[in-house]
A and B are shown apart, each in its own frame.
Chain A
Amino acid sequence: MNPLFQSHSRRTFLTHASTGVGLAALSSLMDARASVPLSGFPHLPVKAKRVIYLFQSGAPSQMDLFDPKPKMAAYFQKDLPESIRKGQRLTTMTSGQKNFPIAPSIFKFAEHGQSRATISELMPHIASVADELCFIKSMHTEAINHDPAITFFQTGRQLAGFPSMGSWLSYGLGSENHDLPAYVVLSSFGSGRPDDQPLYDRLWGSGFLPTQHSGVKFRNTGDPVLYLSNPNGMDRSLRRDSLDQLSALNQQRHTLVGDPEIEARIAQYEMAFRMQASVPDLTDTSNEPQHVLDLYGPDVKRPGSYASNCLLARRLAERDVRFIQLFHMGWDHHGGLPKAIKGQCNDTDQPTAALIKDLKQRGLLDDTLIVWGGEFGRTIYSQGTLTETNYGRDHHPRCFTVFLAGGGIKPGTTIGETDDFSYNIVKDPVSIFDLHATMLNRLGIDHNRLSYKFQGLDAKLTGVESAKVIKGILA
C-alpha cells in the first residue's frame, strides 16, 4: 500500500476491521483516502494508466493551427454574415465593433502523414507525428471569458469550489507511485503574450474532495515541491537523526494515547524524508542523453520552460504519476496574432512532438493518454484593425480544436467539422463533459459512477446532464 498521502484509510479499515485491527479507522482518517482505487474501480478495461494534459492557456486560434478555412480567402475584410453569427453573444471587447471583418489565416496548411491531417506551417514538428494524433475539431464550451472557461475545463463547473479532474482521478484511482503525488502540475509562461492568461490554484484544487487530492504544483523557482529542502545548515544525516528522535517520541506518545493518527503522522514524516530524495532525483535531468535533450529542443535547458516541463512530464510518466498537467500561458491573441502565435508555436511545437516521440520510443505512449488544447476557440473575424498581415481574434466558445494521442485513442483520426467560417459546428459536436467522460473511460472509469457525496448530492465531474463517451475515437 502506498502511504504517501494517507497511510491509514477507510479502505484499510475495511480489511483490518475483519481481523480486529479496527483502530486504524478512527477519527479523521475515516474521511481520508488511500492510494489504492476505490472499491469497484476500475469499472472498465483500462486503456490508459495515466494522463499528460498539455493545457494551452489563453485559447489558441483553431483556424490558424488545425482547422483550415480556405474559402475565407475570398472573404477578406468582408463582414461576418448574420446567417453565420445568428445573433449569438460576443464578449464586450468586440460586441461594440461596427463590423466583424473576416480575417483569413495568413498561414499555409498542408496534409501530413498517412492520415492526411491538415496542419498549419506553424506546427512542423506536430505535423511530423500527425499519424499519432486524433483531432477533435468540434469542441464547444459555454463560457466566453477565460476565468470561467478554464475553470469549466478543469472542474466541470464555471464557478469555483469544485474538484479538478486530476483530483477526481486521485480520489477514484489513487496513486501507483510510492514517492510522488498522484497529480502533479507544471506551469510555464509563453513568449507570445507573456501576461496572458493567469492560472489559479483552483484549477488543480480538490474542491470539496479531501485536500490531499489537490494537484501538487511543481515550482520553477526554489524547491520544486514547497519546503522540500532542509534549512541551510542542516544536512540529510542530521535530518535523519532528528526524524529518528521525533519518531521515537511520537511512538512513545502513541503507546500512551493510542491514537492511530500518531502512527499515520510518523509514516508521513518518513514519506517526507523519502520525498527529499525522490523529488530531486525526478527533476535532475543531468543524466538525460544529448539526443533526448535535442529531441525537445534548445529550450529544454531552461528550467520552467514548456520544453523542460515536457521532459519532466515524461519522467513523471515513467514514475507512474497518474495525472500530469502542464499549463502553458500566452495564447490570448486579441491583437497582433500572427506574430504572437509564432512565438507560442515556437515554444510548444517541438517539445510537444518530442514528448510523443519520446514516450513512444519507451513504449509508454500505449498506456499514456495525451490531451492538447485550450479553454475555447477564437473568432474568424478580426478584433480591432485588420490588415493583409495583421489581425486579432476574440474569444469564441462555439467551436475549437483539441487533439488527443496515446492510450486507447485511435491514432490518425479526425472527428467533428465546423462550417466554412469555423464559427459553428456542423458535425459531431463534443462537449467538455463528453471529453471528460471519454478520458475517464480510457482510464477504466464509468463517468456516472465517479461521484462524491457533497451537500447531500452525488456530485460528478461530468455534471448532471448526460455526458457521452466519444465512441468514434476509441482504439
Chain B
Amino acid sequence: MKRLTSLLLLASATTDAAEISFNRDIRPILTENCYACHGPDQNHRKGDLRLDVRADAIEAKAITPGNPDTSSVIERILTSDADDLMPPPDSHKKLSASEKELLKRWIAEGAEYQGHWAFLKPERPPVPQAFKPAQTFGNPVDSFILQRLAEEKWPAAPEADPRTLIRRLSLDLTGLPPSPEDVESFVNQCREGNAFVVRQPAYEALVDRLLNSPAFGEQMAQTWLDNARYADSHGFQTDSSRSMWPWRDWVIRAFNENKPFDQFTIEQLAGDLLPNPRLDQVVATGFHRNHRINGEGGIIDEEWRIENIIDRVDTTGATWMGLTLGCARCHDHKYDPISQKEFYELFAFFNNVDETGVIRGASNRSGGNPDPSIKVPNAAQQKQLADLAAAITAAESAVKAQEKNLPTLLAAWEPQFKAELAQNKPSWEPLTPEKVTSANGTTFTRQEDGTYLAGGPVPAKETYLIESPIPSGAFSGVLLETFPDASLPNQSVGRNDNGNFVLTRVEAQITAPSLDKPLNVTFTEADAEYSQKGWGIESLIAESIAKKAKGKKATSSNRGKGWAVDGPSRREPNRAMLVTSDTLTIPADARLTIRLVHETLSKHHIGRFRLSYTSTPPARVTLSGDGAVPPEIRTTMDTPAANRKLAQTQKLTAFFRTEVDSPLKKADTALAAARKRHSDFETTVPSTMVMKELPTVRPAHILIRGEYAKPGDLVTAATPAVLAPLPAGAPRNRLTLARWLVSPEHPLTARVWVNRQWERLFGKGLVKSTENLGVQSDPPSHPELLDWLATEFIGNGWNMKALIKTLVMSATYRQSSHLTHLPQEILLKDPENRLLARGPRMRLPAETIRDQALQISGLLNTQIGGPSVRPYMPEGVWDETSRYGDLRGYKHDATNGLYRRTLYTIWKRTAAPPTMLLFDSPSRETCTVKRARTNTPLQALALLNEVTYVEAARHLAQRMILEGGATPEKRIAWAFQHVTCRAPSADELKVLTTGLTRHQKHYQTTPDAAAKLIHTGESKPNATIPPTELATYTVTANVLLNLDELVNKE
C-alpha cells in the first residue's frame, strides 16, 4: 500500500517528478468529479461509461493506456466546448490545471489502477528499525512516526513533564483527573536529582493501574454509547421512556473485563444465536435494539420496521466497517462498490427479528420496552422470583384439589340459587334511617318517597350523618340516589347557587353489641349513572385500593377531588353505588352509620337523597339492582340438566366459580393473588430489549427507491462481494455475519477500531475520516502504521487494553503538546498535527469536563451502573416543547443522583441534556462515530453559571480553606495544584491572590450576596466557615474550574 507522502495541505504540489500513485493521486480526482455519473451506480450512469473499472474504461476508448491523446477522457476535460466539457459546468465541479496534468501523466504512464487500499486485507509491514525515539523508552509506533517525520526533516517534540503525562493518561484512560497523591507519587518516581526522567517501570505501572481501574470501562463506554445510539427514550414524537441500562452496564463490564473485541462484537450482534447463550450474552444483543422506535398514532408498522432494519445496517456499517452503506438504500453506491442489491442482502441479516417495528407491547405515551425484551434480575431478585413461582405452584395444587369437589358443590348450590332467583328480590334495599343529622346545621325533611330534602343554612362545609338499623346477614355496598327538587337552587340537585354539589367522601361504619369496636367499611368499587367530566365517582375511592371501576375507565387525575353531576345544567335523578371487595357479615342488632362529607368546594352539598344497601355478592352488584345474573344463566338453570348443551354447562360452572363463595372460589382467588404477587414483583425487575430470531426466515426484498411499500426482487442474506467472502456452508444469520466482521480476513474491522482509538488519543485518526474508510475517505497519513496496528490488534486476539497500552506507551504519545517552540514551518504545513511532531492538545469531551469538576471538588459519586440518574437541569428543558409521553416534569434527584458520572445521566433524545449538546455530544438519534470539538460562548456560560459547576466551585473552596493551609497564597497554590496537577507560576499566583483580596472586600460589604452564592446547589455549605470567606474562595474556585488548561487535555 502506498502512503500519503505529503500532507493534504501540500498535496497540490504533487505534480513533481514523483511516481504517480492511483490511490493517492488519481482516485480522489475520479471519485470527486467523475464517479457520480461514471461509477458503480448503474442506474445513474451516463453514456453507458464507467471509469471505475479499467477494462470498461479502455473498451469505451475513454482511456488508452500510454496514450493520452487518443483517450477521450483527456479530450473531454481539455475541450473549450461547454457542451462537451467534463465535468459538465452545471455540476459545479471543475478540474484544476494540475489535476488535468496528473490525469494526462497517469494515462501516459500506463493508467494503472489499484484496488482501494481499505478493501484489501492488511499485511503486516516491517517496523522501520532505523528509527528509534530519543526518550528512555518507546515502541514500534514511534519508528513509523519518526520515519515519516524524517522525510520532512522535522524533529519530534521532547517528552512532556511527568505532571502533564499523568493528567493526560488519567483523562484518556479513565475520563477522570488523577488524585493529587497519585500525581506526587508518580512525580517522585520520576525524580532523578534535580531533574525528572520518565522511565518505563514507573510509567508502565501507572498505565496498568489506570487500565485496570473500573473507571476505564466507563470511559470506553462513552464513545460506544454514541455508536450504539444508546438512550433512555424511544426518540420519536412522544419520546417516552425505555429501559436499556442493563445493556449499558454490560458494555462497561465488557470493557473492564477486557473482553476481546471479536467476542465483544459477536455477543452484541448475535449473542442470542450462540449455543446455550448466557443471560449476559443475550443482554448484549441490545446493541441493535437501541435505535429509535416510533409509536405515533396512525403509523404503518411495516414502514417503521423497515426503517429500524435500515438503521441497523447503517449502524453496523459505520461502527464496524467505516462504510456509508446507507447510500445504497435507494440506488447503487455512487463511490463504493456496494450495489443496492448488496445493501438489501445485508438488510436480510437483520430482517428476521421477532418484532413489530413500532412501540407495541409497551405504550407510546407511558413507555416501556417493546418486544422482544428480557428480564434481568440480580441474585436477590432471582431468589424472590423463584419463591413466588413456588407459591404459584402450591396454589395451583390447592385449586386442583378443590376442583375435585366441583360437581358436588355445583349440585348443592344450584337448587338453592334457583330458589333465591325465584323470589325476584331487588338487590337494593332502602335503609330506614332513625336519625338524619348534620355537622354544621343543615336540616332534613323526610319526603313521602323515603328521600330526604336538605334545608336550613348552607354552611361552607358540611357532613350529613345517617344512622340506620341494618338486618343481620350479608352486606356488600350502598346505593346513593340523588334527586332534583323545585325547592333547590336552579331547581336542580345540589344546594349551591348553581344547583351543583360535590361529594368529597363517603364513610360507613357498622356497630353492633357483639362487636368490640365499630367496623369501618372499605369500598373498593364505585359506579354512577352520570359523573361530571373531571369529577368522576372513582374519586371517592383511594387509588391504592380501587378495583377497576365498573363500566367506567378510572382516570387517576380525578382522584381526591370529589363527585359532581353537572348540577347547573343537568336536573336529573342520579344513582351512584359504592361496593366492598368481599361480602361482609352483619351480626344481629347492628346499626349502619353513613357520613356524606362535602368539603372540596364551598357550599356544594347534596340537595335531596335516598340511601339503600345490598347483600348481593360484590361481583353481581349493579346500579340497577338486577342481580347481574346474565339471562343465559337463567335460561340454563331453567333447562333440565340432561338437556343442557356443553357450552351452557360450562358457562354455568364458570358463573359458579367466579360469582359464588365456595372453597373452590377461595382457592381460585388465592391462585390469582399468587400470580399477581409474582407478576407485580416481576414488573419491578429491570428489563432490557434484546434480539430474538423468528423461527422461519422472513423474506427480504430489494426495496425500489428504498421505499417500504415497493418490494422488488427477493434477496437472501449475503455480504458485499468486494469484501472477504463468508465461509462456505455457514448459515446465513447474524452470528455468521458477526463472525465474518471479526475474521482476520476482514479488511476493515480492525483498521476501523485502531484508527478510532488513535483518533481518541491523538485528536485525528491516521485516516482522518474515521467515519469513512471507503473510496471517498482521506488517505491515511501513516498507512504502514495503521496496518501494523491492525495486524497487531488481530494478532493479540483483539485485545483492547493491549492496543491502548501500545498507543500510550509510545514516545509519540508522551511528547509535549506545546506549540511555542515548534518551528514555524511545522505549524504552517501541519496545523492539524497529522504527522505528530508534537503531543496531542485538545478540548475534553462533554462527559469528562463535568466528571472532572465533580472529582476535583470531592463531590463525585463513583457508583458504577444502574438505572439512569437525574442531575441538575434547568426548568422546562423537557416541558417547553412537549406535553406528551412520560418523560415530563423533570425533577432532579436528591443527593446521590446529582453527582454520578455523566454517562449515567438520563437521555431523552428529543430534549437531550443541554450541557452535553453544548459540548458537542450527538443527540443519540442515529449512530455517531465522531464528535465535533467546538469552542463557543454558550460553553463559557455553562461552565461559569451552571449549578453543577458553581456547587463544585464552592466545594473546592471549602477544601481550599480546610485542607489548603492557613494563608490565601497557600490555599490558592494548593487548589491550583489540585486542579491542574502543577504548581502555579508566581504570575499566576499573583493574579489569583490579588483577585481574592478584591472578592473578599466585595463580600464583606455585601454579606447577603455571599450567603446566596454559597447556597447554590442541594448540598449544604460547611457551617464552620464564615459565609463571606466561603463565597470569596468560591469565586476563585470558579475561575480555576474555567481555566482553559482544565477544559483541555494537554
**Which residues of chain A have a CB within 8 Å of any CB of chain B?**
4-6, 13, 17, 20, 22-23, 25-32, 89, 91-94, 144-147, 159-161, 187, 189, 194-202, 205, 210-212, 214, 216-217, 219-223, 225-235, 237-239, 241-242, 244-246, 248-250, 252-259, 261-262, 264-266, 268-269, 271-272, 275-276, 304, 327, 394-395, 448-449, 455-457
Q: Residue B78 at the A interface, CB < 8 A?
A: no
Across the interface, do A456 and B925 meet the contact criterion of CB distance under 8 Å? no
For A231, list chain B residues within 8 Å (CB).
Answer: 945, 947, 950, 1012-1013, 1016
Q: Residue B1010 at the A interface, CB < 8 A?
A: yes
A227 to B1039, CA, bound (A): 16
Known: A160-B925, A161-B926. A268 touches B875 (CB 8 A): no
Contact partner of B883 (CB less than 8 A), chosen from A30, A189, A259, A304, is A189
A137 to B772, CA, bound (A): 42
Q: Residue B833 at the A interface, CB < 8 A?
A: yes
For A255, list chain B residues within 8 Å (CB).
Answer: 820
Across the interface, do B937 and A268 meet the contact criterion of CB distance under 8 Å? yes
Instruction: Encode contact with A along B914-947: 1 for CB under 8 Å, 0 otherwise.
Output: 1001101001011000001111111111101111
Contact partner of A264 (CB less than 8 A), chosen from B935, B1012, B1031, is B935
A145, A252, A275 pick with most chain B CB within 10 angstroms: A145
For B327, list chain A residues within 8 Å (CB).
Answer: 455, 457
For B841, list chain A residues within 8 Å (CB).
Answer: 27, 257, 259, 261
What's the nearest-Cβ distance from chain B to residue A111, in Å? 35
Subset of 6 A-B contacts with CB under 8 Å: A26-B819, A219-B876, A233-B1010, A233-B1016, A253-B1045, A255-B820
Known: A145-B299, A230-B944, A252-B985. A198 touches B882 (CB 8 A): yes
For A198, list chain B residues within 8 Å (CB).
Answer: 237-239, 881-885, 910
Across the interface, do A201 and B934 meet the contact criterion of CB distance under 8 Å? no
A62 to B875, CA, bound (A): 36
A13 to B9, CA, bound (A): 13
Q: Residue B998 at the A interface, CB < 8 A?
A: yes
What's the nearest-Cβ distance from chain A to residue B935, in Å? 5
Known: A32-B935, A257-B841. A230 touches B769 (CB 8 A): no
Across the interface, do B935 and A265 meet the contact criterion of CB distance under 8 Å? yes
Known: A26-B827, A257-B1050, A262-B1044. A232 touches B1013 (CB 8 A): yes
Across the interface, do B1013 and A234 meet the contact criterion of CB distance under 8 Å? yes
A128 to B307, CA, bound (A): 45
What's the nearest-Cβ distance from chain A to residue B739, in Å? 26
What's the nearest-Cβ distance from chain B to residue A200, in Å? 4
**Which residues of chain B have a CB within 8 Å of any CB of chain A?**
31, 92, 235-239, 292, 294, 296-300, 307, 324, 327, 334-335, 709, 763, 769, 771-772, 774-777, 817-820, 822, 824, 827-828, 831-833, 841-843, 874-876, 880-885, 909-912, 914, 917-918, 920, 923, 925-926, 932-942, 944-947, 950, 985, 987-988, 991-992, 995, 998-999, 1002, 1008-1016, 1031, 1035, 1038-1039, 1042-1045, 1047-1048, 1050
Contact partner of B1035 (CB less than 8 A), chosen from A30, A147, A216, A238, is A238
A89 to B885, CA, bound (A): 27
A17, A159, A222, A255 pick with most chain B CB within 10 angstroms: A159
The 7 closest A-B pairs by CB, nearest first: A456-B776, A233-B1013, A91-B298, A233-B1012, A198-B882, A160-B925, A258-B819
Across the interface, do A272 and B940 meet the contact criterion of CB distance under 8 Å? yes
What's the nearest-Cβ distance from chain B to residue A409, in Å? 26
Across the interface, do A28 and B941 meet the contact criterion of CB distance under 8 Å? no
Known: A219-B880, A232-B1016, A256-B818. A227 touches B944 (CB 8 A): yes
Across the interface, do A275 and B937 meet the contact criterion of CB distance under 8 Å? yes
Across the interface, do B769 and A250 meet the contact criterion of CB distance under 8 Å? no
B235, B883, B914, B940 pick with most chain A CB within 10 angstroms: B940
Q: Which label, helix, strand, loop or mixed, suits the secondary structure of the B interface?
A: loop
What's the nearest-Cβ distance from chain A to residue B1047, in Å? 7
For B882, list chain A residues within 8 Å (CB).
Answer: 198-199
Across the interface, do B934 and A253 meet the contact criterion of CB distance under 8 Å? no
Across the interface, do A275 and B881 meet the contact criterion of CB distance under 8 Å? no
For B988, list chain A residues within 8 Å (CB).
Answer: 249, 252
A227 to B936, CA, bound (A): 13
Across the interface, do A246 and B1039 meet the contact criterion of CB distance under 8 Å? yes
What's the nearest-Cβ distance from chain A to residue B916, in Å? 11
For B334, list chain A residues within 8 Å (CB).
Answer: 457
Known: A92-B298, A201-B911, A455-B324. A226 touches B1039 (CB 8 A): no
For A146, list chain B residues within 8 Å (CB).
Answer: 237, 296
What's the nearest-Cβ distance from chain A to residue B1006, in Å? 8
Contact partner of A197 (CB less than 8 A), chosen from B237, B769, B936, B1011, is B237
A295 to B843, CA, bound (A): 48
A5 to B938, CA, bound (A): 9
A91 to B1010, CA, bound (A): 59
For A234, list chain B residues within 8 Å (CB).
Answer: 1009, 1013, 1035
A-B contact count (CB 8 A): 293
Across the interface, do B991 and A248 meet the contact criterion of CB distance under 8 Å? yes
For B932, list chain A residues within 8 Å (CB).
Answer: 28, 31, 210-211
A259 to B817, CA, bound (A): 9
Across the interface, do A226 and B938 meet the contact criterion of CB distance under 8 Å? yes
What's the nearest-Cβ distance from chain B to residue A423, in Å? 18
What's the nearest-Cβ distance from chain B to residue A127, in Å? 31
What's the nearest-Cβ distance from chain B to residue A196, in Å? 8
Known: A187-B880, A198-B885. A258 touches B1044 (CB 8 A): no
Contact partner of B934 (CB less than 8 A), chosen from A89, A196, A212, A456, is A212
For B947, list chain A residues within 8 Å (CB).
Answer: 231
For A199, list chain B residues within 8 Å (CB).
Answer: 881-882, 910
Across the interface, do A92 and B299 meet the contact criterion of CB distance under 8 Å? yes
Across the interface, do A28 and B933 meet the contact criterion of CB distance under 8 Å? yes
A234 to B1014, CA, bound (A): 10
For A221, list chain B residues within 8 Å (CB).
Answer: 875-876, 880
Across the interface, do A147 and B237 meet the contact criterion of CB distance under 8 Å? yes
A235 to B991, CA, bound (A): 20
For B1047, list chain A residues within 8 Å (CB).
Answer: 265
A145 to B294, CA, bound (A): 10
Contact partner of B1014 (CB less than 8 A), chosen from A220, A233, A276, is A233
Across the interface, do B925 and A202 meet the contact criterion of CB distance under 8 Å? yes
Across the interface, do B296 and A145 meet the contact criterion of CB distance under 8 Å? yes
What's the nearest-Cβ distance from chain B to residue A104, in Å? 23
A272 to B943, CA, bound (A): 11
Across the interface, do B1012 and A232 meet the contact criterion of CB distance under 8 Å? yes
Question: Nearest residue in A to B331 (C-beta to C-beta)?
Answer: A464
A384 to B1013, CA, bound (A): 57
A136 to B589, CA, bound (A): 82
What's the nearest-Cβ distance from chain A to residue B1036, in Å? 8
A199 to B490, CA, bound (A): 46
Question: Nearest residue in B to A456 (C-beta to C-beta)?
Answer: B776
For A262, list chain B residues within 8 Å (CB).
Answer: 1044
Across the interface, do A455 and B771 meet the contact criterion of CB distance under 8 Å? yes
A235 to B1035, CA, bound (A): 11
Contact partner of A202 (CB less than 8 A), chosen from B294, B923, B936, B1010, is B923
Known: A257-B818, A259-B841, A448-B92. A250 touches B1043 (CB 8 A): yes
For A92, list chain B residues within 8 Å (CB).
Answer: 298-300
Across the interface, do A211 and B832 meet the contact criterion of CB distance under 8 Å? no
Across the interface, do B917 and A200 meet the contact criterion of CB distance under 8 Å? no
For A160, list chain B residues within 8 Å (CB).
Answer: 235, 292, 923, 925-926
A427 to B603, CA, bound (A): 64
Across the interface, do B324 and A457 meet the contact criterion of CB distance under 8 Å? yes
Across the interface, do B992 and A226 meet the contact criterion of CB distance under 8 Å? no
A342 to B883, CA, bound (A): 21
What's the nearest-Cβ distance from chain B to residue A332, in Å? 10
For B885, list chain A residues within 8 Å (CB).
Answer: 198
Across the interface, do A455 and B772 meet the contact criterion of CB distance under 8 Å? yes
Known: A250-B1043, A261-B843. A211 touches B1016 (CB 8 A): no
